[in-house]
Structure formats: C-alpha cells, structure tokens
Structure 1
Amino acid sequence: MPVDTDADVVKVRQAVRGLTQQARLSLVDQTKFVTAASELARNTLVHGGGGHVEAQVVSEGRRTGVRAVFVDDGPGIADIDLAMTDGWTSGTGLGLGLSGSRRLVERFVIDSAPGAGTRVEIVSWSR
C-alpha cells in the first residue's frame, strides 16, 4: 500500500485492523498493533516523505500473527539509538513514535542510515 497522503495513513490503519482481526489477535493486541502501524505510517509520510507498507497475516508453527513493513526513501536516521529514546524528537512531536511503537508490538526491527531511507518491521502474534 502506498503511504503518500494523510488518506493513505487512514487506509493503512483500516487494512491493518482487518488483518489483526483475521489473525485473531485479542482486542487489546489489535489496538496496540493498529496504533503502532498508524504511528509508523505517519512517520513514513512526515519524516520519510512517503513510501509504502506491506502487511499480511503470517504463521509460524501453530502461531498466527500480523507483520507490517514500512519503507521510505527519505533522509534516513543518523542515530537510531537516539531516535529510539523516549522523549527525543526530530520535530514538534512528543518523541514517543518509534519507542512507543516498539513497546506495542512483539517484534520491532529498524534499519536506517543517512541518505538510505528507513525500513521498520513489526510483528504481533495471537495468543
């Protein structure tokens, strides 16, 4: 799915909600995953200048979950450790986007470098 407008962020949120329901995540875990996905889609748009997200239901053995990967070709993140620090912000936000998203999901992997864009993968599993 493209993430090039505010409307795209809403579409990502709606699509991810459907996948969390399909994967049978609890209502609490659905809310957490959708919140993280929404924040990451917003970051893709605002900080990355747009990009795309790939989301799907995944399985591992007997577990079923949802995986979403957010990719942009923006300026990248010079210091990932700093960017993951609660309260640090590159703009006018609260500085809870990346670190908050990390706490809401079971798997959070970020890959970024200056001039190379950013890739964030999140996964949550049904219980």
Structure 2
Amino acid sequence: MKRPNIIFIVADDLGFADLGCYGGREAEFGPVSPVLDQLAAHGLRMTEGYANSPVCSPTRFALMTARYQYRLRGAADEPISSKSKGSTTLGLPPEHPTLPSLLKQAGYHTALIGKWHLGYPPIFSPLQSGYD
C-alpha cells in the first residue's frame, strides 16, 4: 500500500469560515482560497478542534506534541521574543517526540516552511524536533 503524502497547514489568525472549503464567502474578485479549497476537496478536512491557547506558540506546541504546553513548559510563555534567545528552558524540548519526528521515524521526509516560534536555535531548532 502506498503511503499518503501529508501536508499539514497551520495559519495564524485564520477564522473558522475564512476559507471557501469551510463556508467562507467569495470576495468581489472571486474565491478567496481556491488552491486550499482544491487541496481540501481531495484530502482530509478537519472540522472540529480545540485551540490550546489564543496565541500562536502554545497552540503550535500542542499541535506538534499532542500535549498541552504547560505539561512540558516549552511554549507556555508568549511571545517568544528576542529576550528568549539563549534560553535553555523556553522552547520545544528536542528529546520530546513530535509529529515530524514520528513521521521521520516512519520514513517520511519532513519540512517546515514559515514560522517556527517554538524556541531559538541551536537548542530549540526545528532540526532538533524532526525536520529535515
């Protein structure tokens, strides 16, 4: 059986009906998210969920680890700012399993494009959490 390709899209400040595939209305120029709508039509579209926090870092932490951020203290403080650079405690612990590290163990190639915001390199680099 062929393994599926997986694209996991996380967006900041996206409302529940901002995309057409979730009931968003068209703008004057037409559909607002035609490419994402097409991806959703041919893939898995999640319709229920719980945001772990109203800000991005704790929510990203929960999505990556399947744990509440306060369980590991990794991204409990928001925002992770330049004041956090060099911190050895504020970030996603590299030894903790993550979605990308588990996918990598299963033979997938992994990539992160865009915002990490779960700690500063080198200690808390995406490369330490399962990304190629």
Report TM bin, short chain: under 0.3
TM-score relative to the length of structure 1: 0.28
Greater relative contact order (CA < 8 Å, ≥ 6 in sequence): 1
Q: Could you say which structure has the higher helix fraction?
A: 1
Larger radius of gyration: 2
Q: Could you say which structure has the higher strand fraction?
A: 1
